[in-house]
Amino acid sequence: MNINDYRRGMDKIVPDTALKERIMNQTKRTYTPARRVFTIALAAALSVTCLATAALAASPELRTAVLSFFRMEEHEQVPSGSVSPDGPDLSQADIGELVKAQYIKMDSRRYGFSNGLLTDLTWDEDWKTLQDAKFWEPRDGELVPVEVDMHTSKVDITFRDLHYQGEFYWYVRDGQLDYFSGDHRAWDEEGEHAWDWNLSSVPGRADVLLLRLSTGTQMDYTEYPFLYHLDTGEAEDILAGTGADKLEYAYGWDWSENMRRAIILCDNRLGMSQTWFCDLDAKTLVQVDELADIEIYTAAFADNDTLILHSSTIDESGVAQDVACYSYDIPTGRIIQTLGRTPYYRSWEEGSSGVEMSGSRCVLISEDGQARAVDLKTGAQTLLEGLTFHQNDNLQFNLSGNRLLYFSMDSKTDGLGISQIGVADLEKGVFFAFDREGYENLHEGGIGWDDDSTVSIRASTLDNKTQYLLLYQF
Amino acid sequence: MNQTIRSHTFEETYDAYSGAVYRLAMVYLGRRTDAEDITQEAFTRLLYRAPDFHGEDHKKRWLLQVTANLCRDQLRGFWRKRVIELEDSLPAAPSEELEALSAVMGLPEQYRLPIHLHYYEGYSVSEIAGIMKLGQSAVKMRLKRGRELLKIELEGL
């Protein structure tokens, strides 16, 4: 008996496949109707007018547009080969006249890509201080070194008796802010309780960041945001007076685009969850399922004045089985149903049909594989005609919700094995995809939108010695 | 790039790391149902509360760290049965493999985790220190003590 016996035995300890289904189901669940806290204390702060005018209006007549799918004749030849010893390099290809591809080869996973630049950051041993930063811009088939005006800002704030401190780094280029921060976790002397801070960008703003102060780990985690002004270093308590600072175990914050309203997800280790709606101007805080006479599961912003309310049937183990959606106009309280009750699509089950949610939008997959994109604010549907959706297919909205990334995966490969990729442009009314050749020579680890028109794939060679970033401009 | 990493399919991340998370929970708790609950909780945390990751290695280490913390909380819980039904939780395997599993999983809590992370997951002392939030010297000491307690040949082929 030796350690290899242990390794072989341990290899046989694998999670049951039913666990995967349980967890995948749970990813649909962000809210479980449960005990309401703070209700009495906060009731006085509610806008009575807002609630009194809430009414369930008739569903709108659903409109359906049609996008016809076409498969491009041109194929992509996926790159392969080792990285140059001189550092990262770039090659490019035009795929038909519709897609421009750029392939960046790197010798390490340490490179990042943000704000349109390839980054190589060097941190100190504690991952707190940025020691060096290099940037390249993919331009005209080359990686061109770029200098940025990097600034250093300090976080030094005491909140709920905890002192948060550290530095972060940022620059503005072509009006776009990018930032970098290391590891700032701090622990008490016993190593039991941790506190941390992180940053998020604010859409359309290059002068502020959202500073998120957190404490606790796992089930005790709670978070509170401040607006950090880069010019002064001031951390502004934008939720002051709303009562949101009294929420316990607030872990998820979703903001309207103008940052004047927020959805706050709260949870605790006893499994009691609440979803709150906070209006910074009216200084009100209310549980989302009190906005309407409907049991609400979770919510998302469609725009500054519109919430999409999700109502689900929960099974006895707390897993959401289906969803119906309502568009809630915040100023008037008017509600319209925009999606009838529909079971969730289960990607891990062959032949599944149902709905894949994406905040204020969703994709409907029918039993015969027809796919429709749905705008949950209006209920308007777009049929993706000519596409038969299979188990290994995927559709992802971009941030603006006006384009859908389509990709198909080859289940015989170790990585994603993306055999076909394309885009449905809901505004321009086009839907196309192209086949990829040679994808099996790379281990593709991830795919997604980088911005509203750029899709990226992270990959490595099968020996893991060369990393690839594949960028597609649609 | 963070947006891209975050938009990787959750399912893909589950497929990549659920085994490591589940096995660590099994090493810690020794019971299949507990390990499943911890795995579910760890991936829920990943979905809703994950920090910005510096890469896939960072993501895996974070998952294992969360798992270790959850297991520690669970072990401290008054509701947990103190009797661990190891035999019922182990897979069907040759006797020498079962003996090796039982030997490691039978170690005191503070030793079996570093032993598993080092000899199965292949983490270095400094990486284990990061996952377990211990000093490197404490990890070295636990590895040494764990090796002494084990009756199996750790470096053997």
- Whether B157 sits inside 8 A of A2 (CB atoms) is yes
Summary count for chain A: helices (H), strands (E): 4, 36
Q: Is the CB of residue A61 less than 8 Å from the CB of residue A343?
A: no
Residue A407 is predicted with a pLDDT of 94
In terms of CATH architecture, what is B1-89? Orthogonal Bundle (1.10)
Residue B37 is predicted with a pLDDT of 85
What is the nearest CA distance from A24 to chain B, expressed in angstroms? Answer: 7
- A334 three-class SS: strand
Residue A54 is predicted with a pLDDT of 33
Q: Which residue of A has its CA nearest to B14?
A: A20
- Over residues A84-111, the mean pLDDT reads 89
- Whether A1 sits inside 8 A of B99 (CB atoms) is yes
- Whether B157 sits inside 8 A of A4 (CB atoms) is yes
Cβ neighbours of A450 in B, within 8 Å: 1, 3-4
Whether the CA torsion B8, B14, B19, B20 is positive or negative: it is positive
Q: Is the CB of residue A308 less than 8 Å from the CB of residue A360?
A: yes
- Whether A19 sits inside 8 A of B40 (CB atoms) is yes
Cβ neighbours of B90 in A, within 8 Å: 9, 13
Give the residue from B28, B79, B97 with the most A CB atoms within 10 Å of its CB, the best one to mutate.
B97
- Over residues A143-159, the mean pLDDT reads 96
Residue A292 is predicted with a pLDDT of 83
Residues 3-62 of A with CB under 8 A from B: 3-10, 12-16, 19-20, 22-24, 26-27, 30
pLDDT (tens digit, 9 = 90+) per residue, A366-398? Answer: 999 999 999 999 999 999 998 999 888 999 999
CA dist A357 and A344 (Å) reads: 8
In the sheet that holds A208-215, the strands lie side by side as A186-187, A194-201, A208-215, A222-229, A235-236
B5 → closest Cβ in A4, A221, A446: A446
CA dist B119 and B128 (Å) reads: 11
- Whether B92 sits inside 8 A of A187 (CB atoms) is no
CB-neighbour burial class of residue B138 (10 A; exposed 0-12, middle 13-18, buried 19+): middle
Decide if the complex's ipTM is over 0.95. no
Contacts of residue B38, Cβ cutoff 8 Å, sequence gap at least 6? B21, B25, B28, B29, B67, B70, B71, B74
What ranges in A44-92 are assigned the alpha helix state H?
Answer: 48-52
Whether the CA torsion A183, A186, A189, A192 is positive or negative: it is negative
Residue A375 is predicted with a pLDDT of 95
- Whether A6 sits inside 8 A of B100 (CB atoms) is yes
Residue ranges of domains in chain B: 1-89, 93-157
Contacts of residue A77, Cβ cutoff 8 Å, sequence gap at least 6? A93, A437, A438
Q: Which of A412, A394, A414, A411 is closest to A455 using CA atoms? A: A394
pLDDT tens by residue, chain B, 157 residues: 333 334 447 888 898 999 999 999 999 888 888 888 889 888 888 876 677 777 788 889 889 988 988 887 776 554 443 334 444 556 677 778 888 888 888 887 778 889 999 989 989 888 888 888 777 777 888 888 888 888 665 654 3
Cβ neighbours of A458 in B, within 8 Å: 4-5, 8
What is the nearest CA distance from A147 to chain B, expressed in angstroms? Answer: 19
- Over residues A164-175, the mean pLDDT reads 96
pLDDT (tens digit, 9 = 90+) per residue, A416-471? Answer: 899 999 999 999 889 999 999 999 999 888 888 988 999 999 898 988 889 999 99
Length of chain B: 157
Residue A321 is predicted with a pLDDT of 85
What is the nearest CA distance from A135 to chain B, expressed in angstroms? Answer: 14
Measured between alpha carbons, how far is residue A471 from residues A68, A118, A138, A331 in Å?
25, 11, 10, 41
pLDDT (tens digit, 9 = 90+) per residue, A14-27? Answer: 888 888 887 877 65
Say what the pTM is. 0.67
- Whether B48 sits inside 8 A of A30 (CB atoms) is yes
Measured between alpha carbons, how far is residue B104 from residues A12, A289, A293 in Å?
15, 49, 55
Residue A82 is predicted with a pLDDT of 83
- Could you write out the three-class secondary structure of chain B? CHHHHHHCCHHHHHHHHHHHHHHHHHHHHCCHHHHHHHHHHHHHHHHHHCCCCCCHHHHHHHHHHHHHHHHHHHHHCCCCCCCCCHHHHCCCCCHHHHHHHHHHHCCCHHHHHHHHHHHCCCCCHHHHHHHHCCCHHHHHHHHHHHHHHCCCECCCC
Measured between alpha carbons, how far is residue A236 from residues A158, A208, A211, A446 in Å?
13, 10, 9, 36
* Least confident span in A203-207, A348-352, A396-400, A445-449: A348-352
Q: Work out the pLDDT band at A194, boundaries 50, 70, 90.
A: confident
- Compare A71 and A471 and report the one with higher pLDDT: A471
What is the nearest CA distance from A4 to chain B, expressed in angstroms? Answer: 6
Residue A56 pLDDT > 50, yes or no? no
Q: Which residue of A has its CA nearest to B67?
A: A218
Please work out, in degrees rounded to the nearest 5, the angle formed at the alpha carbon of residue A455 by the alpha carbons of A74 and A339: 105
Cβ neighbours of B57 in A, within 8 Å: 109
Cβ neighbours of B114 in A, within 8 Å: none
Q: Is the CB of residue A37 less than 8 Å from the CB of residue B149?
A: no
What is the nearest CA distance from A55 to chain B, expressed in angstroms? Answer: 32
Residue linked to tokens 């991952």 = A127
Q: What CATH fold (topology level) applies to the domain B93-157?
A: Arc Repressor Mutant, subunit A (1.10.10)
CA dist A84 and A105 (Å) reads: 8
Percent of chain A with pLDDT over 70: 88
CA dist B7 and B17 (Å) reads: 16
What is the nearest CA distance from A202 to chain B, expressed in angstroms? Answer: 14
Q: Work out the pLDDT band at A55, boundaries 50, 70, 90.
A: very low
Measured between alpha carbons, how far is residue A138 from residues A90, A101, A144, A178, A412 in Å?
7, 11, 6, 17, 33
Residue A191 is predicted with a pLDDT of 62
CA dist A290 and A284 (Å) reads: 13
Decide the pairing of beta strands A371-375 and A361-365. Answer: antiparallel
